[in-house]
Amino acid sequence: MTRAQCSVEKEVDMRRRSTKKAAGRKKLTVDGRTQLRKLAAAEHRVPIGKKFVHKRSTDSSSSTHRCSNPIEQWICSIAELGVRGIRKEFVHEVKGFVPIGAQSAWEDDKNFDKNRYEDIRLLDKTRVVIKKSPDNDDYIHASYVQVDNDITYICAQGPLPNTVQNFWIMIIQEQSKVILQLCQSIENGKQQSAEYFPTESPLTKDYGAVRIKVMEKPNTVVGLKKVIRTKIQATYSGTTHEVLHILYAGWPDHCVADSPAVCKEVRSLVHKNYEKKPIVVHCSAGIGRTGTFVAMEMAISKLKHKEIISICDLVKTLREQRMGAIQNDQQYLFVFRMVIEVLMGDDLLTKDLQVINFIKEYEDVIQRKKQERMRRTAKT
């Protein structure tokens, strides 16, 4: 072999080794920096979950017919992505997404003790500004989120003892007809929300300058486990306003709701009573359970208006209004599950094999996560 041939052989061998070394790697750009990440196929760690494989038809015409409208296209896309892919999508595309925008009110020292958590920030451009308070305090940790022309949500943190007055002033100011509470006041020994209306006699109580009167005692909604409704009257500065309070106590922190079917009925109850006024929804931080519920609403609204959707892009749009909305991949996955539940309930989606398989994959993941939490709790 000549020296030239030897040189060529060496170069080919080096390229082959280089190609092998780079196999299973993908170039990604994050915040302007180029990084190398392992592809899912090359990973040897324990997978997030089993891959739900959607078998494509080789007949392109039948595929087009099967996915002929936005709802069918969306179902085809999630079957293609699978439960494992959806969870990975959150980790790689959504989790680190932070919107650009001023947060001067949140950063103001005078508002520090009005924030339940130090790391849950608030955008100036979408924050609810209290217009008339006794001490000219315009701050509350709450954000407007536009769903469509008819539906606006106000995503709020669970009130603190020192913010209950402004919480009620916000309700009156926005003329909200529904408050949806997605947490219990105390969970696992920790306060998630201050109690902001009396639950025992006498059923009238003053919270600062706001007088609250319970018009109808809390009662469990027939057929809906862990759903309690209360009719409340709030009076402030000569204005009296009535609002329906709905407590859904079947949704643990950082997790998904116990029952998609009950959650669907909670949504229906909200829609029956909101009268096209801003709907106030809160959990503890106002981003996890709250963000998940509102993301579901955004997706359903777009699909019903025959718009093609990407849940990933939709959640980013949500975060541009309520920072940090949806905290983990399970909540992200629950958005998909709830959209399916509502569409089936409204006869807009057939429970075919794709849907059945997806629900089964979802339930397997959630059950496994529940067992993991129980084991961790048992150790502590």
Which helix (H) or strand (E) segment holds residue 11: the answer is helix 3-22
Q: Sheet of 152-156: strands edge to edge? A: 142-146, 152-156, 279-282, 178-181, 239-248, 227-236, 210-220, 204-207
Give dist(CA 121, CA 327) in Å, integer. Answer: 13
Which helix (H) or strand (E) segment holds residue 66: the answer is helix 60-66
Give dist(CA 321, CA 126) in Å, integer. Answer: 6
Q: Which of 27, 22, 24 is nearest to 44 (CA)?
A: 24
Indicate the DSSP class of residue 127: B
Amino acid identity of 227? Answer: V
- Check 183, 255, 283, 312 and give the catalytic one: 283
Quote the tokens at residue 326. 């949806």
Residue pair 195/210 in contact (Cβ under 8 Å)? The answer is no
All residues at 6 or more sequence positions from 28 whose CB lies less than 8 Å from its CB, including other chains? 34, 35, 36, 37
Indicate if 183 belongs to the active site. Answer: no
Residue pair 335/315 in contact (Cβ under 8 Å)? The answer is yes
Annotated catalytic sites, by residue? 283
